[in-house]
Amino acid sequence: MYFRMLEDPTHAAVTYLLADLERGEAVLIDPRPDDLPLLQALLAEQRLACRAVLRTHGHLGEVPAEALAQALEATAQALADGDCLPFGDERLCALATPGHTDACRSYAWRDRLFCGGLLGIGECPAQPLPQQPAALWDSAQRLLRLPAETLLFPAHAPRGRGVSTVGEQRRSHPWLAAPSRDECLRRIRAAGAAFDNP
């Protein structure tokens, strides 16, 4: 097992590299174009072939995952809910978690979940507020039913904190730990008003 986080402090974005060192296969989650030389060097250093490039979410104007995959001699995968992707002797499985954007996916691997912008309300520079707040609540409830010790890794970490747990988010998320769906949506609407009227 090999696991690396690459943080970009300028954009508060995080790329994840997961690999089976013995079998020489890797998967990348949310790679950035600027990181390509570093990613290629890491893959070469560990003698890894990149099996797939995955995105938790995407925004207009971003370099398509297909272009990044081609540069890494990999494939861009769009896994459906419940689909699993083998790499070496490892498996990564997709969960549909729409809300931040319509086609958001989270990816489960071992004791970890890579959840993109699902929990980071206000943290994605391209889209601070969820595209579909009601869907985001439903997706978050699905995630928060996972075991409390599950490690959560976001696509953006603006305060330098790249990991939390399901138990922590259940207790203290500013919106998603709300006592009800209506209260969560009210808080998101209030945040939207604050963005519109700084």
pLDDT band at 79 (very low <50, low <70, confident <90, very high): very high
Q: Are strands 151-154 and 90-96 parallel, antiparallel or unpaired?
A: unpaired
CA angle (39 as vertex; 38, 43 as ends), nearest 5: 120
Is residue 95 over pLDDT 80?
A: yes
Is residue 196 over pLDDT 60?
A: no
- The pTM assigned to this predicted structure is 0.91
- Cβ atoms of 143 and 97 within 8 Å: the answer is yes
Q: So what's the pLDDT on residue 198?
A: 46
Return d(Cα 95, Cα 106) in angstroms, integer. 5
The owner of tokens 């008003």 is 193
Return d(Cα 51, Cα 57) in angstroms, integer. 19
Return d(Cα 86, Cα 52) in angstroms, integer. 10
Q: For the segment 109-129, what is each residue's pLDDT rounded down to a tens digit? A: 999 999 998 887 767 777 777
CA 154 distance to own-chain centroid: 5
Which two tokens mark 97? 């978690």
Return d(Cα 59, Cα 79) in angstroms, integer. 18
Length of the chain counted residue by residue: 198
Q: For the segment 21-41, what is each residue's pLDDT rounded down to a tens digit? A: 999 999 999 999 889 999 999
